[in-house]
Structure 1
Amino acid sequence: MHPAIQLANDVRKALRQRSHIAIADFYELIGQPVPGAPPRFVVRMAGKAFFHVVDSRTGKVRGFRRNHNEACALARQLEQKE
């Protein structure tokens, strides 16, 4: 990787870390817990009888089920693998 690109990536990483620290400080000031990361895999209804398990980072469907509970179980299973 080109040194200029690596330097820019390092700067962005440091800024993200400082942003997370600042957000945690603000939540501490108001006495609220810092919200956790959103789930990676979400269940969405697809038609009348199907539920898709979608990767929220890429938007791609990773699986589908006919039952909502089974789709949620699949999403939890995929979340544990990743």
Structure 2
Amino acid sequence: MALSQGWVKRYFKAFCKGFFVAVPVAVTFLDQVACVARVEGASMQPSLNPGGSQSSDVVLLNHWKVRNFEVQRGDIVSLVL
């Protein structure tokens, strides 16, 4: 019984350490570098979401290029209001 409790305690301790490292790294990455967004509706047809309301596309929003002013003609820009 003591052996199994020691294993659970070690596992929980390792999980907590990993969790408290992974969450801030993931939040920083999503805020500073890139995030994933879903495109729904007809606003970007026919380039994105060509099937209409039955389907949706998933896009990667690159925050890094916008922060470094590397936006070029033909790029799709997303605004948050």
Length-normalised TM-score, structure 1: 0.33
If asked which structure has higher relative contact order (CA below 8 Å, sep 6+), I would say 2
Per the normalisation by structure 2, the TM-score is: 0.34
Decide which structure has the larger Cα Rg and report it.
2
